[in-house]
Amino acid sequence: MSQHLFLLLLLFLLLLSLAWLWHLYWFHHCPPYSKAVALHTPVQRLLKPRSPHDCPACCLAPALLSAVESIPVRPWCEVKSRRGAPKRVDTDGFACPNYQCPYSGITDAHVHALVGDGKHGHAERVQTFRCQGCRTTFSARRHTPSYRLKTPSHQIAMVLSALAEGLDASAAERVFGYRQATITTWLTRAGEHAQILHERSFCHLQLPHLQLDELRTRLRSYTQVLWLWLAIDPFSKIIPVLHLGPRTQISAHTVIHSLRQILAPGCLPLFTSDGLHLYFYPLTAHFGHWLEVGRRGRKV
């Protein structure tokens, strides 16, 4: 009886060893199994450099430049008659808002046709200008945050200064006595004007180092998550580019394209980021250099 049990045990061990050998053979030599294992192996995707032709903003720039044609105009001082009262109001820095006027957008007082046309307003006396070329009248506050507002400008500036220091809009309503909707309107108009001032002031910058980062945020009235894209100079602490949008490739192209427009020609700063791969394509498109390789005959 013991001999039969011993033979059965040997037979069981023999079958177990054969099954293990067959499993090893199947693992190393079977093509379907090796392909299934290869599919689950992580493979790092190589990122290919891009050129300015791959940037959506750069592709739209030539079309916009071709649509705007600069037509030279004759100075109004050479067109008008020498008779009449001399100009007493300084109009330098203002331009005619009528886009059909040939002097539209010209702020030089020696070229445009602007003259003073009295003042208006009860709380504050605001200067009015008149274009002699197209007879258009407009206020000196046009295209400013205080345009068509009856509240004195120094009170609006005091409220906006308090908001900039961190005071909440609801608290400003209790402190200054203005409605929260009115304060929000002032803040929105001031923000739009500050963005235009930022675009005109920040130009031809020489920045040796820039840090790229994104901040995740969510507003109270919006369920969608928004990302705040930042480009910060660690030395001077200025923020040349600020963009609010989704965390997509288009937003990355928008940030780097705006940064390229602000920097001086030939400026190549040191970029540091959190390793987001979305920065690779716009950085190589706007700050990369394409070289011709003679041996292979292709660009790298």
Q: With bands split at pLDDT 50, 70 and 90, how would you rate the model's confidence at 68? A: very low
Q: What is the mean pLDDT of residues 272-284?
A: 89
- Where residue 188 falls (left for φ over 0; alpha for ψ -120 to 50; beta otherwise) is alpha
**Average pLDDT of every residue of the chain:** 81
Residue 85, pLDDT score: 77
Residue 52, pLDDT score: 72
On whether both 182 and 124 belong to a single domain, the answer is: no
Q: What is the mean pLDDT of residues 160-184?
A: 92
Which region among 36-45, 77-86, 113-122 has the lowest average model confidence (pLDDT)? 36-45
Residue 211, pLDDT score: 93
On whether both 289 and 209 belong to a single domain, the answer is: yes
Which region among 36-40, 123-127, 150-154, 170-174 has the lowest average model confidence (pLDDT)? 36-40
On whether both 138 and 152 belong to a single domain, the answer is: no
Tokens of 131: 């274009």
Q: What is the mean pLDDT of residues 17-45?
A: 58
On whether both 112 and 160 belong to a single domain, the answer is: no
- Domain-located, residue 227: yes
Residues 129/117, Cβ–Cβ less than 8 Å = yes
Q: What is the mean pLDDT of residues 113-136?
A: 89
In tens, the pLDDT along 86-120 reads: 888 889 989 999 989 999 888 888 898 899 989 98
Residue 34, pLDDT score: 44
Which region among 53-57, 132-136, 156-160 has the lowest average model confidence (pLDDT)? 53-57
Residue 79 predicted with pLDDT over 50 = yes
Q: With bands split at pLDDT 50, 70 and 90, how would you rate the model's confidence at 62? A: low
Q: Which domain holds residue 163?
A: 144-201
The pTM of the whole model exceeds 0.75: no
Tokens of 251: 């937003």
How many CB atoms neighbour CB 175 within 10 A?
12
Share of the chain above pLDDT 70, in %: 76
Tokens of 33: 């199994």
CATH number (domain holding residue 255): 3.30.420
Q: Which of 108, 126, 143 is the last residue of a domain?
A: 143
- Where residue 50 falls (left for φ over 0; alpha for ψ -120 to 50; beta otherwise) is beta
Residue 43 predicted with pLDDT over 70 = no
CA separation for the pair 235, 209 (Å, rounded): 8
What domain count does the chain have?
3
- Domain-located, residue 134: yes
On whether both 211 and 289 belong to a single domain, the answer is: yes
Pairing status of strand 209-217 against strand 270-272: parallel
Tokens of 116: 């003073």
Q: Which of 152, 115, 110 is nearest to 132 (CA)?
A: 115
